[in-house]
Every structure is written in C-alpha cells, then in structure tokens.
Amino acid sequence: MPFLIFVFAFIMPLVLWPIEIFFPYPHIIEELAKALLIFFLLKYNSTSQKICGAILIGFLFGLSENFLYLLNATTIQIQILRFILTMPLHTITSLVILLPTMIDKRLIFLGIILASLIHHFFNTSIA
C-alpha cells in the first residue's frame, strides 16, 4: 500500500482545520477528505488491503485530530474521552465510505452521505 496515503491521512486534520473555521461543518469536510484518500485505495485488487487501508486511514486521521485537540482540551479526562470515542468513529466512518464503494465506485457518494450522517449524529450527541 502506498505510504503517501497514510501520511496524508495523518496530516489531513491539520490541513482541514482552517477550512472548518470558515465552513463549520466538520462532519462533511472530514468525510469528504477521507473519501478522497479511500478513493486512491480502490486501485488495489485485494479486498483485505482495501479494508486494512481504510481502517488505517480512519485511525491515523482520528489520532492526528486528537493531537490537534490537545491544544484545546481543558482536562486530561476530556482528552482521554476524545481518544476513546473519536478513534473508533473515524475508523467506522472510513469503512462506511469504503464498503459501498467496493461494490461500485459510483456508490462512494452514498458512503460519504452515510458517514457524514454518522459523524453528525456523533457530534450532536457529544455536544
């Protein structure tokens, strides 16, 4: 698997942070960014490579996002809770984008919509 996809997955939250200031819909912006990375995974023939790649994209994205939130966290408990909750969220939404796309590449839009809805409901339930 290409190393650059995973590097971009790790730095993507830093790139998206200024965009989210002007367009305050992180559930849409973040899922579109992950979908772009997942789109590059589709050229691999192995299903296990695609699934492992999507899991790694979600994990790295969530990990780096949590490092950014270290600057805003008021307590260590809040940061630990973020790590426990957001790491699985980003991994699951990456898989939600990938799975319909493996059936037909045009279904990537369905995956993005479903992942954005999951992310939105997660954000509103936490707030």
* Rounded distance between C-alpha atoms, residue 5 and residue 57, angstroms: 8
Judged against a pLDDT cut of 60, whether residue 1 lies above it is answered with no
Total domains in the chain come to: 1
In a domain, 66, yes or no: yes
CB contact at 8 A, 54 and 31: no
CB contact at 8 A, 110 and 37: no
Sort 74 into a burial class: Cβ within 10 Å, 0-12 / 13-18 / 19+: exposed
In a domain, 34, yes or no: yes
In a domain, 21, yes or no: no
Q: Which of 5-9, 24-28, 30-34, 42-46 has the lowest mean pLDDT?
A: 42-46
10 is in which domain, residue-wise? 3-16+26-126
In a domain, 42, yes or no: yes
* Rounded distance between C-alpha atoms, residue 10 and residue 65, angstroms: 8
Instruction: Encode pLDDT of 57-94 as tens digits.
Output: 999 999 999 888 887 767 888 888 888 999 999 999 99
In a domain, 70, yes or no: yes
In a domain, 64, yes or no: yes
In a domain, 39, yes or no: yes
